[in-house]
Structure 1
Amino acid sequence: MQFRSMRQKEYVNYTGLELSIYAMELPQIISMWSERMVYTEFCDRNYGSLILVAVEDNPLPGKPDIVRGVAFTSVLDGWLYIRSLYVEPEMTGRKIGSALMTASILSQMQRFYLVGLRLEVFTGNLPAVGLYGSFGMTDKPFEYPEEFGGTAKHAVPPRFRISSMENRISPDFMEIMTRRIQPPVSEMLPESCREFIASGNFEKIREAVAAKHYIPSWFNEHILKPRPEGDENRTEFDDWCDFQDWIEAMETTDEPDGKN
């Protein structure tokens, strides 16, 4: 899906030579996702990484859901980085991108104190620029973190421009989010986001931002809740590494034969 989206939107104006030099082929994309992003960065709690996938019910009985979009975000120093967001090219106009953005923001907003949002996008990719602009993001030059692979500007032909877009958490941004959690976008949000909204915590953050009380200590006190220690009946985990830690803690390591 990402490969098709790149070819039809990001790489559509590349020359043959530019495609051979700069454009990723399908094996490279698979390698990037599996080796670099999923296995390494997704398991690094320092980055607060999160992958969300938009799926559609398969009309054929017994068949798996159909993937329609994906968003990969990370949090560093309070900034939520939208690192990848792709939607099936033929699915544009169905609010899938908007739902992925909204779900990504809400999911990370309940896990971390956020300063704002950042991303990089091809200026020629008008649907993507329009989507991010609808969330109040504007062109704000910043240096993309080396931890996230550095800036994409060095990986494209010089004649193409990549825009660094940014928006800070503010009353205006929270009003945008308030409008986003209405139908039809709200109907596509995951259950965890709906619970976050229903709990009143989103409204607490919105009011705190408006009153200029939205600071890390306030967030830790009013939004984050301590997780019970030693809960052997847990069924939900923050990430894969959290699950692995739980498994390892449950395993017996002192059997007589020395085997784990």
Structure 2
Amino acid sequence: MEVVILPGSKQIGSLAADAVEALLRRKPDAVLGLATGSSPLPVYGELARRQEEGRLDFSRVRGFTLDEYVGLEPGHPQCYREVIRREFTDRVDIAPGNVYSPDGSAADIPAACRAYEDAIKAAGGVDLQLLGVGTDGHIAFNEPGSSLASRTRIKSLIEQTRRDNARFFNGIHDVPHHVVTQGLGTILDANHVILLATGAQKAQVVRDLVEGPVAAICPASVLQLHPHVTVLVDEAAASSLRLADYYRHTYDNKPAWQGL
């Protein structure tokens, strides 16, 4: 696991976009794992800017989103398929048919989850997965207590997550109780994972996922088992890391050819 401490979200977005750009240059038909929430927004903005400048081509790219609410009608503004469309895919030249999302409105949720796993495998797996992290350690919607080997499935949200997301709805009473989410085992199958975290409110969870034990109480800690994880954090989110100086030294002296 590589930890990179940067001044702020702009620098984080630029460095993550560098990784995506490098991937697309060597593999134009790459498969991207797309996260929603505030953390990846600077990345999406930077990628859109680079395409406008003619530096990037997403026409052969495929994307898989991490999760979806259960029970929202298709087209609802808070459906994550709609969110990722607004935040990213409508801003670049990725074909709408090349963007896949879990089906939270399926009549047979378990069958839809199996189909989503099959679709990821049929695409050759995710080359680069973007992730945010919740203050309780969840990645995607794998809440504390999730199986570290879990696959795409239905999950119940804890109340803290529903409260955190209530700002996107008309109050907590409108936030669904259930979601469909890629599992931790599914996420671990990605070739490269980039996790983004900013702000002092993420400091404790960043320490837990990077330097704490691998434990279901902090689902993001499972990333310690992955061979290629990059954690991009600002100074505030890094403020509780015991080895922060070591991470800075390592990145400052990293061979230029190595990349992320």
TM exceeding 0.5? no
The one of the two structures with greater contact order (alpha-carbon pairs below 8 A, sep at least 6) is 2
Question: Would you tell me which structure has more helix in proportion to its own residues?
Answer: 1
TM-score by length of 2: 0.26
TM-score by length of 1: 0.26
